[in-house]
Structure 1
Amino acid sequence: MVAGIEKACHRCLSHIAGNAYLISGLLAFLALPLTMAFVGVKTLHDCPIQPMIPLYLLVGGVVGSLKVSLLLYDAAKMRSLLSKSVVIGDDDDDEYPWRQNAHKYHVHVVLSMFLFIWFILGNYWVFSVYVPNFIPPFHRPQDYCRKSLYVFSVFVLALAHSALVLLLCCTICLYICSHVSTRDDYGDN
C-alpha cells in the first residue's frame, strides 16, 4: 500500500517538475519577492507611523526570493534526474530519484513556516494603521506613511490572501474528487 502511494507521488512529482511551464511560472513569480525587497530597501524610512511595513517587505522579499530560488533549483535538478533516468532506464537502483532532494524538505518547511508567520505579522502591521496620512501633518510630522509604499503593501497582502483562498479551494476540490473517485472505484454510492 505504501509503495503504491510512494510510486504515485513519484509519478506526480515527475510530471510537475518535468513541466517547463512550472519553471517559467516560478521565474515569473520570482519578480514579486524581488520587487518586495527592492521597495522595502528604497522606502526603509518612509513610514514612520509603522516602521515595520518596509521591513516586512524587505525581509519577506528576501526570504521569498530564497524560497522560490530553491524551488527553481529543485525543479531543475528533478528535470536532470528524470532525463538521466530515461537514458539509463528502469534498472537503476534508486527507483525514486526525488528522494535525493528529500533532505531539502526541512529547509522548505522552515522557510514556508517563517513566511506564513511573517505574512500574519505583515497583516497586523499594515492594517493596524489602515489608511494612514500620506502627507506628513504639520503638528506631528512622524504620523504618516508614503502612499506608494502603503498601497504596494496592501496589494502584496491582497495577492497573498487570494493565493491562500485559491489554494484552499483547490485542496477542497481535490479532497472531494478523491473521495468521489474512491467510492466509485469500489462500487459504493
Structure 2
Amino acid sequence: MENSLKSSLLISVIVVLNIIVWMVLITALGLGAMHLNDCPLQPYIPIYLVVIGATSIASLLLFYFNNTLDTSYFSLLSSSTIILLQLFNLGWFIAGSVWVYSIHTVNYDATAGEKYCKRAVYLFAFWFNSLGSICVAMVCTCGLYCVLLTFVKMAFRGQHLFHSQNRCYGVDA
C-alpha cells in the first residue's frame, strides 16, 4: 500500500511540474511573438523568448514521442535530435542571459523612443533566466551530491571504483 501511495505521489508531482513547464514555455513563445518589436533597447530579447520556447516545446514533444518507441532507428534519431536541441538551448540560454542582463536600467515607457523595452517582455525574460539559472544550479548541486554520496558509500563498503591489476575477482593478489 505504501509503495502505491509513493508511486501515485511521484506521478502527481511529475504531472504538476510538467504542466508548469508547459505553461511557462507557451507563455515565453506567445509573449515573445506578440511583442516582437516592443523592445528596441535590446531587440534580441523577444526573439530569444520565441526561440527558447519553440525549441523547448519541440524537445519535450520529441521526448514524449521517444518514450513510446522501442529501440529502433526512430528512437536513436529522436534521442539524437533531443540532445542536439538541448545543446542548442544551453547555448541560446547563455546568449539570452547576456542580452537580458546587459540592460542595467530599463525604461518601460514607449514614448522614450528607441531606449525602452516592454515591461512584460523584459521582466518575463529576466525571471525566466534567473529561475532557470537557479534550477540548473540546484540540479548540478544535487547531481554532485549524489555522485559524492555514491563514492562515499562505495568506500565504506570496500568497493573500488576502478579495476586494479593487483586484484583478482575482488581479492587482492
State TM-score, norm by structure 1.
Answer: 0.71
Percent of paired sites with the same residue: 22
**1:82 equivalent in structure 2:** none
**Deviations 1:131-158 (Å, cap 9, x if unpaired)?**
31111455xx111111111111101001
* 8 Å Cα contact 2:66-2:79 kept in structure 1: no
**2:81 equivalent in structure 1:** 107
Q: What CA distance in whole angstroms lies between the structure 2 residues aligned with 1:172 and 1:56?
A: 30
Quick check: 1:171 aligned with 2:143? yes
Q: What CA distance in whole angstroms lies between the structure 2 residues aligned with 1:187 and 1:48?
A: 60
Q: How does 1:35-50 map to 2 (within 5 A)?
A: 35-50=27-42
**Structure 1 residue 165 displacement after superposition:** 0.7
Q: Closer, same or farther in 2 for the Cα pair 1:182/1:42, shift >3 Å?
A: same
* 8 Å Cα contact 2:29-2:53 kept in structure 1: yes
Partner SS state of residue 35, structure 1? helix
Q: Which runs of 5+ in 1 are unaligned?
A: 1-18, 79-96
**1:65 equivalent in structure 2:** 57
Question: RMSD of aligned C-alpha atoms?
Answer: 2.3
Q: How does 1:107-146 map to 2 (within 5 A)?
A: 107-136=81-110, 138=112, 141-146=113-118
Q: 1:28 aligns with which of 20, 27, 31?
A: 20
Q: 1:159 aligns with which of 119, 124, 131?
A: 131
Flag the structure with more relative contact order, 1 or 2, with Cα contacts below 8 A and sequence separation at least 6. 1
Q: What CA distance in whole angstroms lies between the structure 2 residues aligned with 1:184 and 1:103?
A: 41
Q: Closer, same or farther in 2 for the Cα pair 1:66/1:187, shift >3 Å?
A: closer
**Structure 1 residue 23 displacement after superposition:** 5.7
**Structure 1 residue 22 displacement after superposition:** 7.3
Report the number of matched residues.
149
Q: What CA distance in whole angstroms lies between the structure 1 residues aligned with 2:159 and 2:118?
A: 62
Partner SS state of residue 142, structure 1? coil
Moved >4 Å (runs of 4+)? none
Q: How does 1:10-21 map to 2 (within 5 A)?
A: 20-21=11-12
**Deviations 1:71-115 (Å, cap 9, x if unpaired)?**
22233x16xxxxxxxxxxxxxxxxxx5x44333221111101100
Letter in 1 for 2:92: W
**Structure 1 residue 164 displacement after superposition:** 0.7
Q: What CA distance in whole angstroms lies between the structure 2 residues aligned with 1:74 and 1:27?
A: 19
**1:87 equivalent in structure 2:** none
Quick check: 1:180 aligned with 2:172? no
Q: What CA distance in whole angstroms lies between the structure 2 residues aligned with 1:126 and 1:20?
A: 35
* 8 Å Cα contact 1:23-1:72 kept in structure 2: no
* 8 Å Cα contact 2:42-2:99 kept in structure 1: yes
State TM-score, norm by structure 2.
Answer: 0.77
